[in-house]
Structure 1
Amino acid sequence: SLLGGFKYVADYLFSANAIFNENLGVTQYQISGSLANQFMAGDLGALINHTVYWTDPTDYMLNQLRQIAFRMSLQAAKDDANASNATQTVSYTGTSTKTIFTTNFSLVAVAASLNILAVVAILPTYYGWWALKRKSSMSPLETARAFAAPLLRDAGAN
């Protein structure tokens, strides 16, 4: 099978074994597999000091497996014996959500009437603005002084 072949290649490329024996001050080592040799670090001459270690081969192995899988897929695509019909029928059942707005025109009319009524109710407060004896503004400080705020009682006029 294809996956069996993939496993065989991975075992062949990445199987590794390292055996260290220390007996009466003599250290012996037996290393098999290219991966063990490739990622071994440290000083083999100083085995007695335990300075031999291995770096992590995970990234290397994953990248190699990705490359092998990619090359296998390219070869499978070129192989006419394995070519299949490119037409494929896929069934699909889907749903979608649509937001639908409806307008209640009687509520719109009531809201518009209340807005107009509020404007009409405020208009009388502006009656006689032209009769003011000086220029005025809507400054919060001026408004506070007009209502005799204790903090601004001794402040001068604008």
Structure 2
Amino acid sequence: MTGGRRALQLSVAAASLVPLSVATISLLRGPIWLGQAAPIATDLDSHFRYLSGIFLALGIAFASCIPAIERKGPRFRLLAAMVVAGGIGRAWSAYQVGGPSAGHIAGLAIELGLVPALVLWQAIVAVRYRTGSSPGPASADGA
């Protein structure tokens, strides 16, 4: 994956919209918005909303990396590791219980495909900025 800092920033911003929007809806509506029939077990609803809060914080944390993405490698990798760990859990669930709905399959693709690709891209951009092989802050790249 090639591209400059600005393209990476825009990609991370777009990807951050998923946890920011889905988590907000999940916090407000609970699992019912996913087509789960009411009533939902109280403990299941509580846990779902708790995890949705963590998911929202994760989206905010990813968004906080955007302004200086080339210098946010350690934070970016930690956040990505959390997402990949969740994706592994989702994949394990699919193996044990069966395939989830299309939305969750898309989530799995983001968690185990897109996020690792963004980590690699961030590392490439960071190296370019450290070595000076990328244009400086006033570049047309938007850096």
* TM-score, normalised by the number of residues in structure 2: 0.26
* TM-score, normalised by the number of residues in structure 1: 0.24
Computing the radius of gyration over CA atoms, which structure comes out larger, 1 or 2?
1
Bigger share in helix: 2
